[in-house]
Every structure is written in structure tokens, then in C-alpha cells.
Structure 1
């Protein structure tokens, strides 16, 4: 996720950019508390405060780590992209290798795992070393920050596989492997509940006795736990997204969006890995699969969406096509599920997308002339998928839009402008999270359930959609 922090190259429009960029004006202060958000994983450096603000006195442990760290979340309902701000009282932004970034959020809860990387004087500023990466956990319910001790070389881990979850209540009579890890009642018991952070070891595959690295907040230490590989483990697996499935054994799903899902009961005494192949064909072409695929958990169901860009590239046209196709799948979250249990929910061809319910063919510039990417499943268990649209995918193309597309009705519901000046690639602009449902609201504020944005049936507002004429030029 560190790549989300773009690097000015001294050419083009970057010369006139404020650096570091200022955060958006919306979402502050305490505008709303939506049930889920699309959130930019990369922080803004800004001294902003609202009801979500948490502070901590940082412990020494890395070069130049000192003073107080302040974290504030600014949430707004999709398709606008929420963000968070970080402020260090005794540190300048130049003392950070990159902006702090989100490593993981609790799948159905209020925990956020943050990485705060400091500059190593012996290495370039854009080079991240494990010993310079400090980990913090933001607890939305308690509005607290926890600094984790350095894992150290003996617990060297893979950042891409990190997951965070609250520990299940041992007194619970429900021993199902798929009960929620969080209590249903928000209160002090939940806010102060212990949590665990788990990840694959840095060298996991190819070892005779692989292990996982676990941090337990109850004892405030890291430990290693061996795992059983099981039979028929896959030849290819590189985690690109992690889900905390839950249950009494703390099941984690490591997802290689190109190939498969690996399930691991991280709280079991001797975790055994289980494997599930994804329904779409592998298309590993050397880029981040998150740019064209996504996965999410909804109760007892796992949903998955995959895009196929430019399916008509074989045409004789000299002009590259912006056409794309997307397919959504679902499967029950069962221990005995196999690849044959995936069910296709819907399939969408971008050339058939409507701009209204009357069936008018899509002719709006955001659909006919823009390239789509970064499919992101709505976390309200509906048919909405969010897509990032740009005129082209070149790093210098800073103008972008987020489209809320109803996959079943083949209709674009809303479109908003996305501040993409920091986004170098199209795989890390935002991700979906339920953290917003647990953020502390300002006094007198109520939870918001509607989706803000601009209907394509109305005149687009330049505030959120940008200049449509400029998009066509």
C-alpha cells in the first residue's frame, strides 16, 4: 500500500501541486457515519480533529520516532472516498519514508491496523525496511491507539498477509467455527476486548515447517505458530487481500486474487490450511490483481468480482477499446466448500450499461470514453460495485471518477470525482471497509445510510463530477 503515496517527478502538473497534498474538504468535521466506506489506505499529513481523533505518546523503537501521534478519520458515504489524517507533534512529514497507511481493517468491526514507516538515514527515503515500520492499532469503539512492539527478525512477517480481529469471548456457549468475533452490543466490553494480529511468515511457501506470526494484545507479545500445509496445496499463492472470517478459531482468509483462497484458523493450537480455487481463470500478467478483482464477506457468504479489460483487443481497430466486462460470483462460507460451489450472480458488459431505468443506451462520457478498473464490492450486500474510471491509466493522468454501478440492472446510479493526484497505479486508490459504522459520531449526529453522489439523470455538479466537457476533449 505504500505505493499509493506518489512521488513527484518534476514534470507536468506535479510542479504546481501542493506537497504533501491537502486532504479533501468533505468528510470533515463529523459530517456523517455511514455503515461502510470506500477509504483511501494512504494517510494525509494534516492536524485535523473530530470525534474520531485518537492520540498516543509514541515509544522509542525506530529512528526519529518521537512525540505524540494523532489519527483522525473523515468518513463519507460512497461513492465519495473517505480518508484519514495523521499528525505527529514532534516530527515533520519528511521524517516519514512514505505516508502512514492502512494494512488491514477488521472485516466486521472497529479495528484498523496502521503502518507508520520512518526514514532510515542509511537508505533512500522511498526504501522501506522492516525495522523502520512501526505498527499501530486504532480502536474506533474505544477511540484509542495502541502501539505494537517491533516484531523483530525472529517474527519477520509478510505485510500483505496481515489480518486483525478481536478475540472471541471464551465464555460464549456458541462454539461454531463461524460465529462473529465481535459482540453484537457496542459497549465498553467490546471496546476493551483483546485483539490479535496475524500474518504469514516472510518466507512461508517452500518451507517444510512454515509458521505464522501472531501478536496477542492480552500478553503484548509476538509469537510464532507452526501450521499444517495439508494436501494439494497450490503451486501459486501471493496474498493480495486478507479477510478475517471469524469464529472461535479465528479463521483468516488469505486471498490471491489471481488464483485461490487459503483459510487458516490462526487461534487453533495447530492450524491446518484449507484451499479454495477462485472461479475465474488466472490471468497473472505482472500487475496487481486488485486493479481488476475484489472479494468480500457478507455474513455466511463470500462474494467475488472479476473484470476483463478490453475483451475485444483482437479487433482491427487502431484505437484501443475502453470496453470491459465484469462477473460477480458468490459461495457459502462453509468449511467443505469447493470450487464447484461458486455460483455466478451476474455478468456485466460495459457497452450495455444504462444511464436510466428506461433502458437508454449509455452515451454519457464517463461510460463511453473512460477506462474502468478497481472493482470494489458494496458492503451492504446489494448488487452495487464501484469502479474507478480514468481517461487513461498513465501515471500523469490525475483526473478520475468513481462510478456506482448496479450490476443486476446494468445501470450507473452515481458518479463522483476522485482526487487521484496521489494514486500512482489503479490498484490502491481505495478499498471498502465497515470501520465507519464503529467511528464515534459527533454529539447530535445520526448514522447515515444513503449514498451521496450525482445521479447521471441530472446535470452533473462540477464539485463532485468534474467538468464533463473536459473529459471528452
Structure 2
């Protein structure tokens, strides 16, 4: 398995590597490395293995607490449904997650794990679905640095789960995303969400923007899917969400 970059922050790059082909089928065969770029003293460190825990690349956030990358953290959030965490009535608990955290300042402790709950779960009323999990992470965004180590785990169909990963007792806060553009309702939960929408963050403006691409036709061809990436034409910007017309 070739090295794969998972995240980059300041002068830090987090990537994974495996010397066995089994890593394609089981994430536990991966090793994680942290590279620090520096004009005179670059470094490459092997992180402790998170075993028995594992997580997908899209669930991992890298945070740097200073410009030199001397102190940093790696955080991952996984659903407890993946580990079959059952309620007392033997039903899946969709509102509990495992927060896995590695801190360079406490490297001797390795990875720590905490069970987190969603403080005030919010179901999508405008576009409800009766299938799939409550939250499936598509990407991760960093919303704060330093002592305000805020990370958002984004489900592009529904919500962002936000928490300060350095708090002693962190809590997940549920932020619902705007519904898909009306022209894309026929595609709701029928394609990869990043084909028609995305989320971006501006820490300078303290804002989160939702980008939504609206397709004019229900039958999509390869050219139709590639067109928004080639043109990047933004039609309008309303309440922090932009729509691209194809």
C-alpha cells in the first residue's frame, strides 16, 4: 500500500502506510506517521498504533497548537453502531460515538478513547429518511485551534457534529445543514453527497459555508458530473450557501 496523506495542518502532514495488502480490507493493518516540515530540522515520527480501535480516513482530524507544530493532536470520531453498541432493549444506539485522541504532549499515553453522546440530537425534518445511520462522517473540518480545539465531523447529507476535543468531558453538538437544492431532491441519498454539495470553513470570517450544485436534469452523464468541477461557476450566494447551476 502506497503512502496516503490523510490530513495536513500548518507544517504537519499525517499519512498512513502499510506493508501488507491486507490493509485494503482491514484498517488495523495501517501505521500512522507524522511529518514535520522544517528548513533545518524536519522530522518523521511513527505514531502509536490505535489498536484495537480503527477509523476511516474521512474521520480523522489533525490539529496544530502552534505555528511550529511542536504540539499537536490527532482526533477521530467513530460511531458506536460500528461496534454493535446496543441499548438495554437490544436496539442500536445511534447517538453515541467513540472519540479517539492522540496528543503529542502526552505521547507516552498513546491513544485515549472516550464515549461521547450528542447533547441535543436533531432529526432532519425537511428531508427525513427512514434508512441509514443517524450520522455518517463524510469529511472533517477544524473550527478552532489552541485551547479552543473545535472539530466538526460532517455528514454532508444531514449535519455537523462539533466538539472541543481537549475538554475533560467533551460533548457533541448537532448542527443541521441546509437541505439539498430543490433540483437535487431526486438524488437525495441516491449518490455520494460530495457530488452535489460540500462544506467549507473560513476561520478568519468565523463562518461555515455550504456549497450546493444544482443539476438541471435528473439523468446524469459523466460530462454532467464533471462540468461543475470544470466551470466552478457560482450562481448565487444566499445565507452562506452557494449554488452552482449545471
Shift of 1:133: 0.7
Q: Does the alignment pair 1:294 with 2:147?
A: no
- Compute the RMSD of aligned alpha carbons: 2.9
SS in structure 2 of the partner of residue 219 of structure 1: helix
Could you tell me which of 87, 90, 106 is aligned with 1:219? 106
Shift of 1:287: 3.3
Aligned to 2:70: 193
* Alignment gaps of 5+ in structure 2: 83-92, 124-132, 237-246
Q: 1:380-406 deviations in whole A, cap 9, x for unaligned?
A: xxxxxxx43xxxxxxxxxxxxxx2534
Q: 1:109-155 deviations in whole A, cap 9, x for unaligned?
A: 232221213324xx5xx7332331111122234643221111110x3
SS in structure 1 of the partner of residue 58 of structure 2: helix
Q: Which has the larger radius of gyration?
A: 1
Please give the residue correspondences for 1:53-452 in structure 2 after superposition, counting only pairs within 5 Å: 96=1, 99-106=2-9, 109-120=10-21, 123=22, 127-141=24-38, 143-153=42-52, 155-167=53-65, 182=66, 190-201=67-78, 203=80, 206=93, 210-220=97-107, 221-234=110-123, 236-247=134-145, 248-281=147-180, 283-298=187-202, 299=204, 300-309=206-215, 311-313=216-218, 370-373=223-226, 387-388=228-229, 403-407=230-234
Q: 1:204 to 1:161 in 2, by over 3 A?
A: farther
Q: 1:291 to 1:101 in 2, by over 3 A?
A: farther
Asked if the contact 1:135–1:148 (Cα under 8 Å) also holds between the matched residues in 2, the reply is yes
- Scaled by the length of structure 2, the TM-score of the pair is 0.71
Asked if the contact 2:55–2:76 (Cα under 8 Å) also holds between the matched residues in 1, the reply is yes
Once residues 18 and 188 of structure 2 are traced to their aligned partners in structure 1, the CA distance between those partners, rounded to angstroms, is: 29
Asked if the contact 1:100–1:114 (Cα under 8 Å) also holds between the matched residues in 2, the reply is yes
Shift of 1:208: 7.3
Q: 1:204 to 1:213 in 2, by over 3 A?
A: farther
Which protein has greater RCO, CA pairs closer than 8 Å, 6+ apart?
Answer: 1
Shift of 1:279: 1.1
Q: 1:260 to 1:103 in 2, by over 3 A?
A: same
- Number of equivalent positions: 205
Once residues 117 and 308 of structure 1 are traced to their aligned partners in structure 2, the CA distance between those partners, rounded to angstroms, is: 39
Once residues 246 and 204 of structure 1 are traced to their aligned partners in structure 2, the CA distance between those partners, rounded to angstroms, is: 28
Once residues 94 and 177 of structure 2 are traced to their aligned partners in structure 1, the CA distance between those partners, rounded to angstroms, is: 24
SS in structure 2 of the partner of residue 263 of structure 1: strand
Considering fraction of residues, name the structure with more helix.
2
Shift of 1:202: 5.4
Q: 1:113 to 1:152 in 2, by over 3 A?
A: same
* Alignment gaps of 5+ in structure 1: 1-95, 168-181, 183-189, 314-319, 323-368, 375-386, 389-402, 410-473
- Runs of 4+ off more than 4 Å: none
